[in-house]
């Protein structure tokens, strides 16, 4: 695609690497919903991550939530009810891609030649600051601000010298792909009732109602705030001090209890406070089959007990390839969907 002689590329919601991304499972998820649920007008995706599952419900009122700001801002870019000027986004993307000289900045000072080259860090820092400056000046509305940040995060993800997350960078890797922003093909006019939140899911469910609430919590001890700290840092742009080889910032406030020994208790609290006709839970059956950190934190018997206390339960299964930190062969794994038709009252 081109604009005034300048070429640019576009991107879709699924063009991002993310642990546990359910994009490939959308046919399975939508099949269960279509065949088992009726009268679905409002869908809440309360551990939304990339927003892949929310994208499977076009025409519905969508509520997204994620405790990580980087995910929230991307979800607001894709699903926010506010309209935006797509030509303005094209203008910014083309301009950012054309500039090649930048000064030292927060990114070069802290991340040069780690996940990104010095030059790309310089460009990332310049772009992120320019987005913020134009937003504060009133030249970008909330949705345009979010879309440009999302474009930058997606572009970073394309070239980062990692294995799909930021627990560590690949030392000695060749920086062979320069940063290139793409135009997110986000709907200009989303459903006016859409809402996007950046909250603790256990607190949010006390204040929302939906026909269907989809739940895809972390399964194991691997904190998403550890895996995606750098994207979180750039999204917030508060320029915190970073430390350690992986250059992580302080992130206690966004640690998930679903990655800890209190996962079962936290899940039971969540389900008890949900106000919905249907609850659809994704939870794989890793159990103790993988690397210790990849093992599921909530036992099947507890999931079944808690959901049956809430209503009628059906379980659906589809084989898939799991993520495990270990190198052992893991067989017989399946992504399961637990569908609870909630009791009235």
pLDDT in tens, 110-168: 999 999 999 999 999 999 999 999 999 999 999 999 999 999 999 999 999 987 688 88
Query: Going by C-beta distance under 8 Å and a sequence separation of 6 or more, which residues neighbour residue 133?
Result: none
- The pLDDT of residue 285: 63
Q: What is the per-residue pLDDT for 144?
A: 98
Whole-number percent of the chain with pLDDT over 70: 90
CA distance 254 to 199: 9
232 within 8 A of 166, measured Cβ to Cβ: no
CATH of the domain at 74: 3.40.50.150
Positive or negative, the CA dihedral 213, 216, 221, 227 is: negative
Burial class from Cβ neighbours inside 10 Å (0-12, 13-18, 19+) for residue 320 reads middle
* Mean per-residue pLDDT, 14-25: 88
Q: What is the pLDDT of residues 279-337, one digit of tens each?
A: 999 987 654 444 444 567 899 999 999 999 999 999 999 864 444 344 434 345 677 89
Domains contained in the chain, number? 1
pLDDT digits (tens, 9 = 90+) for 213-250: 999 998 778 888 888 999 999 999 999 999 998 999 99
Q: Which residue has the tokens 């500039």?
A: 99
What range defines the domain where residue 309 resides?
2-342
């Amino acid at each position: 695609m081109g604009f005034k002689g300048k070429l640019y590329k576009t991107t879709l919601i699924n063009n991002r690497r993310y642990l546990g991304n359910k994009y490939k499972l959308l046919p399975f998820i939508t099949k269960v919903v279509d065949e088992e649920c009726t009268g679905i007008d409002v869908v809440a995706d309360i551990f939304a991550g990339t927003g892949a599952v929310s994208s499977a419900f076009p025409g519905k009122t969508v509520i997204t939530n994620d405790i990580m700001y980087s995910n929230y801002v991307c979800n607001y870019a894709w699903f926010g009810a506010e309209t935006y000027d797509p030509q303005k986004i094209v203008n910014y993307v083309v301009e950012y891609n054309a500039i090649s000289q930048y000064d030292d900045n927060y990114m070069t000072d802290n991340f040069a030649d780690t996940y990104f080259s010095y030059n790309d860090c310089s460009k990332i820092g310049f772009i992120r600051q320019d987005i913020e400056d134009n937003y504060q000046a009133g030249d970008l509305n909330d949705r345009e601000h979010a879309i440009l940040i999302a474009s930058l995060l997606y572009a970073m993800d394309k070239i980062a010298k990692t294995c799909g997350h930021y627990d560590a960078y690949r030392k000695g890797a060749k920086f062979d792909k320069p940063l290139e922003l793409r135009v997110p093909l986000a709907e200009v006019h989303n459903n006016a009732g859409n809402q996007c939140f950046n909250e603790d899911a256990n607190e949010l469910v006390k204040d929302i109602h939906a026909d269907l609430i989809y739940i895809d919590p972390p399964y194991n001890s691997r904190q998403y705030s550890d895996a995606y700290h750098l994207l979180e840092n750039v999204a917030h742009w508060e320029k915190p001090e970073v430390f350690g080889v992986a250059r992580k910032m302080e992130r206690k406030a966004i640690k998930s209890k679903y990655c800890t020994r209190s996962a079962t208790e936290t899940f039971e609290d969540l389900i008890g406070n949900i106000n919905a006709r249907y609850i659809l839970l994704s939870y794989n059956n890793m159990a103790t089959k993988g690397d210790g950190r990849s093992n599921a934190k909530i036992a099947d018997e507890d999931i079944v007990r808690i959901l049956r206390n809430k209503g009628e339960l059906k379980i659906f299964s589809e084989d898939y390839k799991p993520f495990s930190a270990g190198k052992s062969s893991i067989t017989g794994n399946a992504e399961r969907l637990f569908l609870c038709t909630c009791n009235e009252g």
